[in-house]
Structure 1
Amino acid sequence: MDLKTLYAPVKNDLADVEGNFKSLADFWKKDFPDLHDMLKHILVGGKILRPALTFMSGRCIDGKTDRILKMATANELMHIATLVHDDAIDRADTRRGRVTVNKLWGTEKAILLGDFLFARAGEFAASTDNLRVTKLFSQTLGIIAVGELRQARDIFSASQNMEGYLQRIAGKTAALLKMSSESGAILAGGTEEQIQTLANYGYNLGLAFQIVDDILDFIGTEKELGKPVGSDLRQGTVTLPALLLMQRQPNSNPVSRFLAGKDREENIARAIEQIKSSGIIEESYREAEKYSEKAINLLEGLPESTCKEALKALASYLVRRRN
């Protein structure tokens, strides 16, 4: 099974999101060709996971999705804006094998493009005329910003720990997936119990998704990842596999030595090799599966529907993916 199959129940809805993206880019084609080119470059590809979650969560409650399109668009635009900013901050040349905005147009323009995308995302959220989802959008943006500040504060710090790691991924990936599923439930007119169920589903799905991302950063190939293996650790961010290695070797380990600036290339190579050969990858996958299973179990109280089954299948798929 692949994402295309999983997204089949909301295929037409997702095409409408892409239509909104095209309209957004085309609006600037005549008056500001440079902005048009930047938008055309960035508003393509990706897993479109967030809008899919928004539509499927809504469809678990109500088959009509016309009220949800604007919020689904807002959710994906917010996600793309965070990626543009992340790449600019990290000075990344590529993402998933594609050249980044900052590489093509420079860091300053990339930051400004990210700001523009956040602004347009907020406008789409507000156009739902639903105060609750508009407030949720603002709250989520604040949570993501705090998460990024925490990560920036802890960079290359040997004091990074499991509590801080979970707090960081909760304030990043999990917050955005929670907003996606929660907003779909709100706009579909769900009960408070249904809204909280789908919000918690998205949150746990986000934790599982990010943990798998962090695993792939060590076991994927540069071609699969679109970036160097161990990229997060190279930038001073300690994720779950590296934390587990530090726990197993508290007195001396290549991760701590790397963070301290000692023989960095040698120690990062050792860290990657030890993580891959020590059972840490399997332990990390079990942690991801714990959150995936929790997300699936949360859905049991919802009415039976095609989209409910799709959400279950999605949670299973995302912990088995390779990119």
Structure 2
Amino acid sequence: MELSTIYAPIQDDLVRVENRLKSVSKVDFLHLSELLDYSLKSNGKRIRPVLTLISGKFYDYNPDNLLSMATAVEIMHTATLVHDDAIDKSSVRRGRTTINALWNEETAVLLGDYLHAEAGAMTASTNNLRAIKLFAETLKTISSGEINQSFNAFNLSQSRAQYFQRVAQKTAALFSMATESGAVMSQAPEESIQILIKYGYDIGVAFQIVDDILDFIGTEEELGKPAGSDLTQGTITLPAMFLMERYPNDNPIKRLLDSNNRQAEIKKAIDMVRNSSIIQECYQVASDYCATACRNLSLLPDKPGRQLLIDLAEFITIRKK
């Protein structure tokens, strides 16, 4: 199923979110306006604000507050990407030149800070204390995940538990914030909020696993960046862990630290993963998380959003970019 089909029932609200994103760049300082406009004009899928919109429509909600929260979630996501690219010194994302490559790393860091502040202000505009606290806690969690990843670059002894902790911090936290904040905006009962938190967390983990798979099997055109980017940065993902477990002695990943030609070793690792059952095994892990995510959705009110969440979970495991 295509995302456009899944998004159709909430397309009008998604357009309103896009319009709010455009309004963020309308500031007096020309250079800041250009930076905001460039960063928020994304080729992304907008999955996170969509999750907020869907999660916020099961009960009674204030449309303006829900739109503000969905917009804040997307701005926060954009801020994390801008910071990630600056930290990793990435030059391309989603087929576009990054902020740090077009301007410089210092500008990218400051822009990311500004975007986080903008997201916080938009969250505060809802006057919902739980949402405001959630924003702050999520930002702390994401930052912890980035620090965790930085200190574990090229650490080949990482356990799967460490991998999933990093995924929880860097990716799943924002997905669960998206669903929780939407539910909170609709004054949902706590039981429903917890179901949506669990859903967001689980599909967030699945989303990251699929991202990690695509880094091995995707083309540069599909990914908008070179394949093997994670290994280039020293980020050990689930496919890499499976490869090291399967070939403990003769393994290109284990040779990365000592190699004078890291790209050659990365290419070997990619080829070995592609020519094994590792990809299927990783997809199975992602599918299991998606299945778990949907397990309790039947306890939510019987509204169109329930099926949309199921469709989104299915899309995550079949996407190509």
Letter of the structure 2 residue corresponding to residue 256 of structure 1: K
Structure 1 segments, 4+ long, off by >2 Å, are 60-67, 259-263
CA distance, structure 2, for counterparts of residue 260 and residue 299 of structure 1 = 49
- 2:37 maps to what in 1? 40
1:85-164 to 2 correspondences below 5 Å: 85-164=83-162
- 1:203 maps to what in 2? 201
1:18-37 to 2 correspondences below 5 Å: 18-26=18-26, 28=27, 31-37=28-34
User: Residue 79 of structure 2 contacts residue 115 of structure 2 at CA under 8 Å; is this kept in 1?
Assistant: yes
1:231-250 to 2 correspondences below 5 Å: 231-250=229-248
1:183-194 to 2 correspondences below 5 Å: 183-194=181-192
Of 152, 157, 174, the residue aligned with 1:176 is 174
User: Residue 55 of structure 1 contacts residue 65 of structure 1 at CA under 8 Å; is this kept in 2?
Assistant: no
What SS does the corresponding residue of 1:116 show, helix, strand or coil?
A: helix
**Cα gap change, 1:7/1:63 in structure 2, threshold over 3 Å: closer, same or farther?**
farther
- Measured after TM superposition, the shift of residue 175 of structure 1 is 0.3
CA distance, structure 2, for counterparts of residue 114 and residue 63 of structure 1 = 30
User: Residue 206 of structure 2 contacts residue 290 of structure 2 at CA under 8 Å; is this kept in 1?
Assistant: yes
User: Residue 61 of structure 2 contacts residue 187 of structure 2 at CA under 8 Å; is this kept in 1?
Assistant: no
Scaled by the length of structure 1, what TM-score is found? Answer: 0.96
What SS does the corresponding residue of 1:66 show, helix, strand or coil?
A: helix
- Measured after TM superposition, the shift of residue 316 of structure 1 is 0.3
- 2:5 maps to what in 1? 5
CA distance, structure 1, for counterparts of residue 126 and residue 259 of structure 2 = 50
CA distance, structure 1, for counterparts of residue 17 and residue 63 of structure 2 = 12
CA distance, structure 1, for counterparts of residue 272 and residue 59 of structure 2 = 46
Scaled by the length of structure 2, what TM-score is found? Answer: 0.97
- 2:17 maps to what in 1? 17
Q: Deviations over 1:263-317 (max 9, x none)?
A: 4222211110110011000000000000011111121211111111001000001
What SS does the corresponding residue of 2:64 show, helix, strand or coil?
A: coil
Number of residue-to-residue matches in the alignment: 320
CA distance, structure 2, for counterparts of residue 319 and residue 227 of structure 1 = 20
Q: Deviations over 1:212-259 (max 9, x none)?
A: 000000000011111111110111001010000011122331111114
User: Residue 56 of structure 2 contacts residue 66 of structure 2 at CA under 8 Å; is this kept in 1?
Assistant: yes
Q: Deviations over 1:19-65 (max 9, x none)?
A: 11111112x1xx31111111111111311111100010111234753
Q: Deviations over 1:120-152 (max 9, x none)?
A: 000011111010010011000000000000000
- 1:67 maps to what in 2? 65
